Amino acid sequence: MLSPALPESCDVLVVGAGPAGSACASKLAGAGLDVLLVDAQAFPRDKVCGDGLIPDAHAALRGLGVYDEVMALARHVAHVRCVAPRGGAVSVPGTLAVLPRRQLDDLLCRAERRAGARFEAPVRFEAPLLDGERVVGARLKAGGAAHEVRARWVVLATGAVPQALINAGLCERRTPSGVALRGYVKNAAMVGHIDQLELVWHPRLKGGYGWIFPAPDGVFNIGTGLTGSHVTGRDGRGSMQDVNLRRMFDAFCDVYAPARELMAGGTLVGELKGAPLRCSLLGARWSRPGMLVTGEAAGSTYAFSGEGIGKAMETGILAAEALRQGLDDDAGVRAHYDTALRALAPRFALYEKAAHVNERPWLADLVIWRARKSPRILRRMSGVLEETQNPGRLLSWRGIGKLMFE
Ligand SMILES: Cc1cc2nc3c(=O)[nH]c(=O)nc-3n(C[C@H](O)[C@H](O)[C@H](O)COP(=O)(O)OP(=O)(O)OC[C@H]3O[C@@H](n4cnc5c(N)ncnc54)[C@H](O)[C@@H]3O)c2cc1C
């Protein structure tokens, strides 16, 4: 059965209208392809996130031609303030901003429609349509009814919830790489006091960190997150039973006075909400004939910091570039995409290693203490943030060891 709004066929069906899906659909429609983008949720929709736009996101937004539009709405920020367990802090300069995902994703999705793609929501991807082993479209659900849409390619950009990946036969690990919880707090009195992206490490937040990000209109995004073996277990399979993010959030407010003040004097807007993360380009196969996986579904979020908006857009654009090689060349498209993601993999691997700072918060004391004394190290930290410098020189054990002797 076909909904009046859903076509029978298209060149590319993109599933998921987060940053990855919208970026991919925009680029494909801009190249003249017939693109249908669908999302399980009606837009605008909320997405549990810290809403921080780091330099890679700025670059991707420019590449999509929406930078000025986003920055006209966003809260501009000039530094990341890293706070160590013993209270030492360093402000790392960077090109940064904060915009709630409800607004950002809606804006990206509207840009995708301007580029010529169609968008339908709420429409859920249920399963791929197959011709032998090749994906030739998808079974979708909209308004309680099932619909089949044939497509020359399907792109899965369904984020960190693995159900669509499982249904598509591409999930290699159901457990997320991380989990995080965030809330919005309105507190006009704190506006002049917290004007950087604040990241806080502490033994009571071991395995992750706490953050406060200043959003527009006197609102702050505050949260805590965990990655690594605390979530996946030592064997990598793990269960989420022992993860209590609410307790971690309370610990953050106990150990960090600005978090306590923000919560005590502010008004919580909505609830505290948690969500999974999929990191380090792990946990899923990136393609099968007729289908590519992109964004966080492909693990495009950084393990150390949990940041992923920029890399979601970047991988979505890479998927579009691979498809533009020629939709009829299955092997060519898959090889092109595989090569592009592999080129990013070393950077993700270094961020995975850097997560040892989350495991051993005393390392944050050391790095921040050294950065406060050395403008060169501070510049290097800024270079890693801006992605103009290889993170290996700073984030690896070797890099940390060298810090001691420079
Ligand atoms: C608490 C928290 C804080 C974070 N903070 C930051 C931060 O400050 N900065 C940063 O850069 N990153 C942050 N991240 C990571 C960031 O949220 C993700 O990297 C990013 O959202 C990934 O984008 P995406 O487009 O791949 O997926 P998503 O943004 O998750 O979009 C996926 C879309 O797919 C849709 N979908 C899912 N399944 C289906 C289906 N079956 N059918 C149809 N549609 C479907 C969903 O409705 C959704 O709209 C944070 C994550 C969490 C959990």
Coil, helix or strand at residue 194: coil
Q: pLDDT tens-digit profile of 56-81?
A: 999 999 999 999 999 999 999 999 99
Q: Which atom of ligand 1 is nearest to the CA of 126?
A: 41
pLDDT at position 314 is 98
**Ligand 1: centre distance to CA 49 (Å):** 8
Ligand 1 atom nearest residue 52's Cα: 8
Residue 361 CA to ligand 1 center (angstroms) comes to: 27
Pocket mutation for ligand 1, best pick of 166, 213, 301 (most atoms within 8 Å of C-beta): 301
Cα 321 to averaged position of ligand 1 atoms, centre (Å): 21
| 239 pLDDT more than 70 | no
Q: Which residue's CA lies nearest to atom 53 of ligand 1?
A: 275
Residue indicated by tokens 């929406």: 66
Quick one: which atom of ligand 1 is closest to the CA of 179? 53
Q: In what order do the strands lie in the sheet with 75-83?
A: 52-53, 89-98, 75-83, 197-200, 208-214, 219-227, 178-186, 267-277
CB 292 within 8 A of CB 324: no
* Of 287, 173, 275, 168, the residue nearest 223 (C-alpha): 275
Strand, helix or coil at 86?
coil
Ligand 1 site-directed mutation target among 58, 271, 309, 351, most atoms within 8 Å of CB:
309
Q: How far is the CA of 238 from the centre of ligand 1 (A)?
A: 22
Instruction: Tell me how far the alpha carbon of residue 87 lies from the centroid of ligand 1, in angstroms.
Output: 32
**How sure is the predictor about 1, in pLDDT bands with cuts at 50, 70 and 90?**
very low
User: Which atom of ligand 1 is nearest the CA belonging to 19?
Assistant: 25
**What digits encode the pLDDT tens for the residues 172-225?**
999 999 999 999 999 999 999 999 999 999 999 999 999 999 999 999 999 999
In whole numbers, what is the pLDDT of the chain averaged over residues? 92
CATH class of the structural domain 76-96+176-276: alpha beta
Please write the tens of the pLDDT for every residue from 365-375.
888 998 899 89
Indicate the top mutation candidate among 158, 167, 199, 248 to test ligand 1's pocket, ranked by most ligand atoms within 8 A of CB.
158
168 C-alpha vs ligand 1 centroid, how far in Å? 18
Q: Which residues line ligand 1 (CB under 6 A)?
A: 15-21, 38-41, 47-52, 57, 124-125, 157-161, 164, 180, 182, 223, 225, 275, 277, 295-296, 301, 306-310, 312
How confident is residue 338, by pLDDT bands cut at 50, 70 and 90? very high
SS3 276: strand
CB 197 within 8 A of CB 57: no
Distance from C-alpha of 101 to C-alpha of 114, rounded to nearest angstrom: 19
Q: Whose CA is nearest to atom 51 of ligand 1?
A: 49
> Cα angle at 314 between 344 and 167, to 5 degrees?
90
The atom number, within ligand 1, closest to the CA of 313 reads 25
Distance 63 CA to ligand 1 centre (A): 20
Determine what percent of the chain is predicted with pLDDT higher than 90. 79
Task: Return the pLDDT at 304.
Answer: 87
Write the DSSP string, 220-254.
EEEEEEEETHHHH-TTS---STT--HHHHHHHHHH
Write down the domain spans for the chain: 9-48+103-174+280-354, 76-96+176-276, 359-405
CATH code of the domain occupying 9-48+103-174+280-354 = 3.50.50.60
> How far is the C-alpha of 103 from the C-alpha of 105, rounded, in Å?
6
